[in-house]
């Protein structure tokens, strides 16, 4: 039966006759759905948030990487529809899971979204389907968590349906790469599933990189983000050491990057943000305990990066005392930038939220300005900040604050004017110096 089911599905994919279902229409799922539609497939997007479905039906994109024009074109061409009716999964030949994989309050993997989604798929699973997990997770999740849920109804992976993993590689705000131009790693534990994944993704992206198993593909994604987390921790630690010596870490890194080999620049900041880098390393540290193998290096990097917001607020307090003769507890602070990285509206795991909380825990008051984030949405960890709105960008507004803390260096900010308007600027991104603003009231942190 395997050969017949495989050949029929492979032919449907090759001829673009297969219906593709993408579950989770967020920063990963919606761009993938658009790339798949442009690849010639009929795509159905699934999401539990009815608000997203309403926006899509109105041809309004809520993801910066997908323009209204692109969304409208694929919808009106009949290549993309969206629904919260999961019974329609039965109509899909290829199903891709793009749901969140956060950490619990105890910094352990929270696979509840993956488990619930797998259970939904299992209700409508039929022979001849390909199921792909894209959500970042620890090695073994596809086979140890997803597979048993899907097989509970009697169908068997590798015989009746096919299962694999392909890590998402989105980089919000990076205009040099899109979903279709970023190489796609694919891994499965059967040659048939691997071949089907290569056929599907090969029609959607420019380059497909097959690996030997789903666990290997899962490990690839973790390795990429652990690499960044560890190197950011290293440069954050160097910043602290060099600052004590009176040496500017940004000048050091910019000079070091002129070496044409053996060095890759990473820059310090106020803490890690985004859905991947602050979270993914802990998936591996958790899984490693099963094998009694410590991950001291990774855990140390996590400690260093997690400590950065408190260090920044301490430096802010010192700068206020030294430059303005004012305690943080009596100060009004404007946090510049709420998003976790520049030029995007994404606030997931943003250190700016922690900075606001720490400033107010110290007795100060904090507001924020961000041209990309008009209002703080409700988040699991910072629900008490929900509803706060970005203050206007004006001379009168900026002058009201005792200090401006640059947490995110959006390109839309006029740093020269900020230097003229602000009483004190505490800069965690070296934004002022990069824009030629060097002054006594500008302090690097």
Closest listed residue to residue 348, CA positions, set 275, 444, 408, 418: 275
Number of domains in the chain: 2
One domain, residues 184 and 57: yes
pLDDT at 1: 58
Q: Sort strands 19-23 and 42-46 into parallel, antiparallel or unpaired.
A: parallel
Count Cα neighbours of 204 within 13 Å in the Cβ-side half-sphere.
26
143 three-state secondary structure: helix
pLDDT at 170: 81
One domain, residues 430 and 341: yes
Q: Cα–chain-centroid distance for residue 231?
A: 18
One domain, residues 293 and 408: yes
Distance (Å, rounded) from C-alpha 376 to C-alpha 382? 9
Q: Cα–chain-centroid distance for residue 88?
A: 28
Task: Look up the domain containing 363 and give its range.
Answer: 238-444
The b-or-e profile of 51-87 (16+ CB within 10 A means b, else e) is ebbebbeeeebbbebbeeebbebbbeeebbbbbeebe
Residue 326 lies in a domain: yes
One domain, residues 252 and 164: no
Q: In the numeric block, which tokens belong to residue 97? A: 């899971």
One domain, residues 291 and 413: yes
Q: Rg of the chain over CA atoms, in angstroms?
A: 24
Beta bridge partners of 389: 375
Residue 415 lies in a domain: yes
Closest listed residue to residue 159, CA positions, set 121, 190, 124: 190
Query: Which tens digit of pLDDT belongs to each residue from 347-399?
Result: 988 999 999 999 999 999 999 999 999 999 988 889 999 999 999 999 999 99
One domain, residues 145 and 252: no
Query: Which tens digit of pLDDT belongs to each residue from 127-160?
Result: 999 999 999 999 999 999 999 999 999 999 999 9
Closest listed residue to residue 406, CA positions, set 434, 378, 379: 434
Residue 225 lies in a domain: no
Distance (Å, rounded) from C-alpha 20 to C-alpha 194? 17
Distance (Å, rounded) from C-alpha 14 to C-alpha 19? 12
One domain, residues 279 and 355: yes
Residue ranges in the chain whose pLDDT is less than 50: none
pLDDT at 40: 95
Residue 220 lies in a domain: no
CATH of the domain at 300: 3.40.50.720
* Geometric angle at alpha carbon 181, from 54 and 19, rounded to 5°: 50
Q: In the numeric block, which tokens belong to residue 319? A: 């700068």
DSSP 379-398: -SS-GGGTT-BPPP-SHHHH
162 three-state secondary structure: strand
One domain, residues 26 and 111: yes
Residue 352 lies in a domain: yes
One domain, residues 115 and 186: yes
Q: Exactly one of 75, 92, 98, 276 is catalytic; which is it? A: 276
96 three-state secondary structure: strand
For residue 276, indicate whether it is catalytic: yes
pLDDT at 250: 96
């Amino acid at each position: 039966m395997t050969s017949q089911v495989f050949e029929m599905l492979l032919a449907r994919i090759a001829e673009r006759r297969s219906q593709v279902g993408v579950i989770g229409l967020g920063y990963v799922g919606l761009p993938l759905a658009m790339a798949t539609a442009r690849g010639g497939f009929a795509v159905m997007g699934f999401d539990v948030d009815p608000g997203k479905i309403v926006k899509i039906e109105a041809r309004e994109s809520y993801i910066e990487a997908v323009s209204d024009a692109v969304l409208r074109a694929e919808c009106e061409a009949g290549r993309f529809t969206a629904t919260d009716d999961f019974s329609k999964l039965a109509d899909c030949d290829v199903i891709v899971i793009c749901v969140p994989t956060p950490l619990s309050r105890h910094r352990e993997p929270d696979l509840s979204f993956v488990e619930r989604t797998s259970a939904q798929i299992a209700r409508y699973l039929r022979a001849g389907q390909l199921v792909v997990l894209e959500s970042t997770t620890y090695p073994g999740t596809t086979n140890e968590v997803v597979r048993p849920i899907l097989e509970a109804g009697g169908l068997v992976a590798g015989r009746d349906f096919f299962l694999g993993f392909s890590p998402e590689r989105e980089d919000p705000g990076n205009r040099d790469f899109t979903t279709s131009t970023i190489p796609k790693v694919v891994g499965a534990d059967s040659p048939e599933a691997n071949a089907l994944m290569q056929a599907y993704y090969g029609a959607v992206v420019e380059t497909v990189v097959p690996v030997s198993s789903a666990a290997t593909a899962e490990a690839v994604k973790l390795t990429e983000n652990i690499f960044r987390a560890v190197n950011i921790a290293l440069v954050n630690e160097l910043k602290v050491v060099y600052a004590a010596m009176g040496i500017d870490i940004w000048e050091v890194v910019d000079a070091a990057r002129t070496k044409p080999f053996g060095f890759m620049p990473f820059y310090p900041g106020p803490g890690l943000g985004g859905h991947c880098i602050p979270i993914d390393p802990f998936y591996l540290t958790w899984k490693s305990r099963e094998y009694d193998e410590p991950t001291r290096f990774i855990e140390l990097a996590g400690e260093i990066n997690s400590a950065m917001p408190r260090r920044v607020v301490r430096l802010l307090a010192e700068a206020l005392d030294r430059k303005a003769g004012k305690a943080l507890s009596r100060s009004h602070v404007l946090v510049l930038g709420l998003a976790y990285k520049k030029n995007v509206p994404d606030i997931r795991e943003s250190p700016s939220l922690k900075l606001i909380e720490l400033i107010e825990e110290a007795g100060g008051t904090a507001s924020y300005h961000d041209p990309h984030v008009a209002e703080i949405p409700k988040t699991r960890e910072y629900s008490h900040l929900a509803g706060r709105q970005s203050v206007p960008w004006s001379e009168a507004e900026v002058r009201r604050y005792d200090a401006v803390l640059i947490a995110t260096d959006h390109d839309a900010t006029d740093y020269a004017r900020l230097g003229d308007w602000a009483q004190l600027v505490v800069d965690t991104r070296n934004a002022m110096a990069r824009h030629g603003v060097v002054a006594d009231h500008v302090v690097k942190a």
